[in-house]
Structure 1
Amino acid sequence: MAAGLGSRFGGDKQLAELGPQGETMLELSLASAIKAGFTAAVIITRDNLIEPLEALLADKLPCGFKLDLCIQQMDDLPSGWQTVIANTDHRVKPWGTAHALWSARALVKGPMVVINADDYYGDSAFQLMADGFEQVNSRWQMVAYPLKETLSENGGVNRGICLVQDDLLHSVVEWTDIGWRDGQLMGYCGGLLAPVSARVPVSMTCWGFCPDIFEILEQALNRFIATQGSDAKSECYLPTVVQSVLDSENSASTIRKTVYVSTAYEPWLGVTYPQDSTWVKQKLMELLGD
């Protein structure tokens, strides 16, 4: 997913040169995916990033690797949405990560890994996903990271806080503005400020799905438009959609899935604020530099 506006970062994080050789995070993730045996990628982005991304990746992918780019369009919604809202003129940005993945439905036919293009996950994350699909290619899965490894020294972050038991995901809840406050790690959950453990596993948008996710996304987007379609800033998040499938009771979803969780043994790296860039460059040099 590479359609984010990077409002807190102040620019297009998708094109930021952060690697030891000036690579973008997207280039590093594609290299990791190729090492793990993945043979195709779909980049979901904005129309003004199509040409820069095509130029960035020209001649950098192995022969036979299939690459598609698609645009996350504001009005690309499940049929019938105009009976709820007349148009999308009230929106400044698209409808969130669930909508971003929905945008790729015509281009993905098999097991998939879903990531943010502007984050670094490490080779092991993609290998864990590949190993999981090798066992069961219709499984859903996630690579989690300890919360303490995903914080920024320059401001609060939003994270999907996970409850994991016996390597299975039981719940994922979106927390916002997580950071240290007077020596205590705290964040907002449901609008209320609360403490959170530094060791709790979090979703960093490293999901493994099979194509039945698109039926679930259609249901979720229909519910979202019906309840929040008139809100200019509301977003439909992938963790919320996954949670709707995990809830076996009181759920409108017709599909039940088990989500297997692996814990990454390499650090996650990302830039939320401009000040994060220097630290991330240093860490990537330590991890990947000669």
Structure 2
Amino acid sequence: MVKTEYVFQETDRLPEGFTCPADREKPWGTAHAVLCCKDVVKEPFAVINADDYYGKTAFLHMADFLRNNSSDYCMVGFRLANTLTENGSVSRGVCEIENGELKSVTERTKIVDCKYTEDDGKSWTPLAPDTVVSMNLWGFMPDLFGYAENGFKDFLKEKINVPKSEYFLPSVVTKLIETGEKRVKVLIAEDKWYGVTYKEDKDMVSAALNKMADEGLYEGI
């Protein structure tokens, strides 16, 4: 049996010395969401997007890494061509990798058919189909919480009164890489990633999941 606990991201859950503005409605971002788990999670852990399908291989890679590492972090990356939709543009974090380690993630906010634009479609730059992109499948050690909390304090000093400001998890990872405090191993999953970016994606994703169930990969869905 897997022990399960639920933790809620609340806007007034801030470090000592900070008070949430009365008009704050938007959550504080993905790094804050993870930080809310610090009193519950005491072991190596993974972070995912709850509404994405990553595939069996991705989780096998992640489990193996977390069982056999005691200090480094990891990210499971996917091939760009395995993350696209036929129904419109997507935003993807394009990874720079050196000797199997993550060096940077560059967000490309409008990708169509393995090419991206930064000028609303006036010009397009090609990307190789096998380019590794981040789909927010991260593996961490518990010491992440300390780094994230310190960064959150700095964030709040500057942006606590900005109504829609958000503290993002990739920004925490990027800073740790840039300062040399952490190494982030890149594990590559060759599976197709599934998500519903557009409502038109739903039928395709449903069909893919049902096919997996029919083939015995999962019990009936």
TM-score by length of 1: 0.67
Indicate how the Cα distance of structure 1 residues 109 and 233 shifts in structure 2: closer, same or farther if over 3 A, else same.
same
Higher-RCO chain (CA-CA 8 Å, sequence separation at least 6)? 2
Offset at residue 262 of structure 1 (A):
0.7
What amino acid sits opposite 1:179 in the alignment?
I
> Is 1:248 matched up with 2:179?
yes
CA–CA distance in 2 between the matches of 1:241 and 1:280? 31
What amino acid sits opposite 1:66 in the alignment?
K
Within-5 A mapping of 1:45-60 = none
> Is 1:239 matched up with 2:170?
yes
CA–CA distance in 2 between the matches of 1:274 and 1:262? 30
> Is 1:195 matched up with 2:132?
no
1:136 corresponds, among 69, 78, 102, to 69
Contact 2:31/2:168 (8 A) holds in 1: yes
Contact 2:35/2:149 (8 A) holds in 1: yes
Contact 1:187/1:196 (8 A) holds in 2: no
Contact 1:164/1:171 (8 A) holds in 2: yes
2:21 corresponds, among 74, 80, 87, to 87
Offset at residue 243 of structure 1 (A):
0.3
1:179 corresponds, among 111, 117, 120, to 111
CA–CA distance in 2 between the matches of 1:188 and 1:231? 26
CA–CA distance in 2 between the matches of 1:228 and 1:158? 25
Contact 2:21/2:161 (8 A) holds in 1: no
CA–CA distance in 2 between the matches of 1:106 and 1:261? 28
Indicate how the Cα distance of structure 1 residues 140 and 233 shifts in structure 2: closer, same or farther if over 3 A, else same.
same
Offset at residue 159 of structure 1 (A):
2.2
Counterpart position of 1:61: none
Indicate how the Cα distance of structure 1 residues 273 and 171 shifts in structure 2: closer, same or farther if over 3 A, else same.
same
Counterpart position of 1:75: 12
TM-score by length of 2: 0.86
User: Secondary structure of the residue that 2:4 maps to in structure 1?
Assistant: strand
CA–CA distance in 1 between the matches of 2:52 and 2:197? 10
Counterpart position of 1:267: 192
Offset at residue 137 of structure 1 (A):
3.1
Indicate how the Cα distance of structure 1 residues 150 and 140 shifts in structure 2: closer, same or farther if over 3 A, else same.
same
Indicate how the Cα distance of structure 1 residues 130 and 196 shifts in structure 2: closer, same or farther if over 3 A, else same.
same
CA–CA distance in 1 between the matches of 2:78 and 2:39? 30
Offset at residue 170 of structure 1 (A):
0.8
Task: Work out the percentage of aligned pairs sharing the same amino acid.
Answer: 38
CA–CA distance in 2 between the matches of 1:268 and 1:242? 22
Indicate how the Cα distance of structure 1 residues 174 and 98 shifts in structure 2: closer, same or farther if over 3 A, else same.
farther
Within-5 A mapping of 1:26-45 = none
CA–CA distance in 2 between the matches of 1:231 and 1:278? 39
Aligned positions, number: 211
Counterpart position of 2:219: none
CA–CA distance in 2 between the matches of 1:200 and 1:235? 28
Offset at residue 69 of structure 1 (A):
0.9
1:126 corresponds, among 45, 56, 59, to 59
User: Secondary structure of the residue that 1:203 maps to in structure 2?
Assistant: strand
Offset at residue 196 of structure 1 (A):
5.4
Counterpart position of 2:135: 204
User: Secondary structure of the residue that 2:172 maps to in structure 1?
Assistant: helix
Contact 1:78/1:218 (8 A) holds in 2: yes
Indicate how the Cα distance of structure 1 residues 237 and 194 shifts in structure 2: closer, same or farther if over 3 A, else same.
farther
